[in-house]
Amino acid sequence: MNKILGIFLFAMLITGCSESANQDAESMAPPIVTTVTLKPQIIEISENYPARVKAFRHAEIRPQVGGIITERLFEQGSEVTKGQALFQINDEVFQVELMDAKASLDKAEAEAMRAHNHVNRLRALASSNALTKQQLEEAEAQYQQAIADIAQAKAQLTKAELDIAYAQIKAPISGRIGQSFVSEGTLVSPSDAQLLALIQQVDKVYIDVKQPLSQIEFLETEAHAQNLQYYDQSRVEILNSNGTVYDVKAKLLFTELDVNETMGDSTMRVEVDNTNNRLRPGMYVRVKVTFGEIPEGLLIPVASVSRDDLGNPQVMVINSDEVGEYRSIQIGQQLNGFYIVKSGLSADDQIVVEGYTRAEEHSPITIKPWNPNLQEKYRLNDTMQAQLNEIMTMIQQAE
């Protein structure tokens, strides 16, 4: 074991000396920075929002009269049309009430005819002063009362007819009906909390998304500065959870004027043509809204931005002497790992993305192009790998 320990100590000494030499060499070399040259480009101002799908219309099927369900007249999960019969309630009691209302109306009309004839006779006698004025007025009042009784009887008849009509529950809208929550023989009432079924119209759907107030202010500022083109022609795309775009047509209907006091956002309503029924109520989707374009904008990587002592954004720019110097800038919205440059930089400026923390202003540096897709791989160099192999061989021999 002492022999093995000695071998390890010797190997660590060699490795330490090698690393120390490498570190000294690296400390003397100019720091390496990666840079990118800015080019003007069309910047698409868009945002991706999480949201859920809502039915274009939905109707809860509830009874308007009470009674026993005698028949279900639809196929569960099918498409129904407006006015289609869905449930039948036992209407025998309503039929009896209808006959009673008709009889009451006949009686009221007969009484009114009698009162009318009586008034006509009294008016003939009144011309010859054969009766008092009070008698004629009482007869006329009875006739008016009979007319009112007719109106009341007609109202009762209409209600009885409506009760019979409501005993057959019909679809108020066209759409897809789901399961039936009641079966034949169930006693239902207009005051019940349980609905009978639910119809949803999904050939079109709504999607409500929340837009932060900060973004609203940014868009308004850019539009006012005339840097944002097609601001009044927002394009909308609907994506699934994997980022795949649905083959549907969508448009932005409006943005609510009110801002939520708690969350600080406003609601945008999107209408989607869903004739292929790809979207269903309650589905989680993502809504990509493209608000407009900046025709000649500049983008800089987020990693290139640092802050000065006052917290203002700055970047290191490579000057004509190929050394770095810090420059204060103004940045706008962040888009996919980049900032929109509002001021402080121009086309063809070369900025440092990585390594500015190791570099000093106006000091020598080694410049390499920035590759956003480059991933550093950590591995042993050839010398260290050979030393490790030798140590492993010595350990095996000692065993």
Report if residue 124 sits inside a domain.
Answer: yes
| Residue 50 and residue 31 share a domain | no
Backbone CA torsion sign across 105, 111, 117, 120: negative
Report if residue 346 sits inside a domain.
Answer: yes
Question: Would you give per-residue pLDDT tens digits along the chain (399 residues)?
Answer: 555 545 554 555 555 555 554 555 455 688 999 999 999 998 888 888 999 999 999 999 999 999 999 999 999 999 999 999 999 999 999 999 999 999 999 999 999 999 999 888 888 777 666 677 788 888 889 999 999 999 999 999 999 999 999 999 999 999 999 999 999 999 999 999 999 999 999 999 999 999 888 888 877 777 776 567 776 678 899 999 888 999 999 999 988 888 888 888 899 999 999 988 899 999 999 999 988 888 888 999 999 999 999 999 999 999 988 899 999 999 987 888 899 998 999 999 999 999 998 888 888 889 999 988 753 433 344 445 455 555 655 655 555
C-alpha 31 chain-centroid distance:
48
| Residue 315 and residue 284 share a domain | no
Report if residue 67 sits inside a domain.
Answer: no
* CB neighbour list of residue 267: distance below 8 Å, 6 or more residues apart: 208, 209, 210, 211, 255, 256
* CATH code for the domain in which residue 352 is found: 2.40.420.20
Query: So what's the pLDDT on residue 247?
Result: 92
Distance between CA atoms of 204 and 271, rounded to whole angstroms? 7
Crossing angle of helices 133-166 and 92-126, rounded to 10°: 160
| Residue 289 and residue 220 share a domain | yes
Nearest by Cα to 74 from 187, 181, 230, 147 = 181
User: Residue with structure tokens 């959870």?
Assistant: 241
> Which amino acid belongs to residue 329?
I
Distance between CA atoms of 161 and 156, rounded to whole angstroms? 9
| Residue 311 and residue 328 share a domain | yes
Query: So what's the pLDDT on residue 124?
Result: 75
The total number of structural domains in the chain stands at 3
Distance between CA atoms of 188 and 374, rounded to whole angstroms? 69
| Residue 253 and residue 208 share a domain | yes
User: Residue with structure tokens 């945008």?
Assistant: 268
User: Residue with structure tokens 């080019």?
Assistant: 39
* CATH code for the domain in which residue 95 is found: 1.10.287.470
Query: So what's the pLDDT on residue 7?
Result: 54
| Residue 280 and residue 214 share a domain | yes
- How many other CB atoms sit within 10 Å of the CB of residue 289? 20
Report if residue 65 sits inside a domain.
Answer: no
| Residue 214 and residue 269 share a domain | yes
* CATH code for the domain in which residue 239 is found: 2.40.30.170
Report if residue 352 sits inside a domain.
Answer: yes
Distance between CA atoms of 166 and 192, rounded to whole angstroms? 16
| Residue 282 and residue 306 share a domain | no
- At residue 243, φ and ψ (nearest 5 deg) are 90, 5
Query: So what's the pLDDT on residue 121?
Result: 82
| Residue 305 and residue 289 share a domain | no
**Boundary of a domain, candidates 141, 166, 191:** 166
**Boundary of a domain, candidates 122, 142, 166:** 166
Report if residue 12 sits inside a domain.
Answer: no
| Residue 286 and residue 242 share a domain | yes
The tokens for 173 are 């809208």
| Residue 217 and residue 265 share a domain | yes
Show the domain range for 322.
Answer: 27-40+299-373
Report if residue 278 sits inside a domain.
Answer: yes
**Boundary of a domain, candidates 294, 311, 342:** 294
CB contact at 8 A, 179 and 74: no
The tokens for 18 are 């090698």
Secondary structure in 3-state letters for the chain: CHHHHHHHHHHHHHHHHHHHHHHHHHHHCCCEEEEEECCCEEEEEEEEEEEEEEEEEEEEECCCCCEEEEEECCCCCCEECCCCEEEEECCHHHHHHHHHHHHHHHHHHHHHHHHHHHHHHHHHHHCCCCCCHHHHHHHHHHHHHHHHHHHHHHHHHHHHHHHHHHCEEECCCCEEECCCCCCCCCEECCCCCCCCEEEEEEEEEEEEEEEEHHHHHHHHHHHHCCCCECCCCCEEEEECCCCCECCCEEEEEEECCCCCCCCCEEEEEEEEECCCCCCCCCCEEEEEEEEEEEEEECEEEHHHCEECCCCCEEEEEECCCCCEEEEECEEEEEECCEEEEEECCCCCCEEEEECCCCCCCCCCCEEEECCCCCCCCCCCCHHHHHHHHHHHHHHHHHC
| Residue 50 and residue 36 share a domain | no
Distance between CA atoms of 279 and 204, rounded to whole angstroms? 9
Burial 260-287 (b: 16+ CB within 10 A, else e): eeeeebbebebbbebeeebbebebebbb
- How many other CB atoms sit within 10 Å of the CB of residue 232? 9
Report if residue 279 sits inside a domain.
Answer: yes
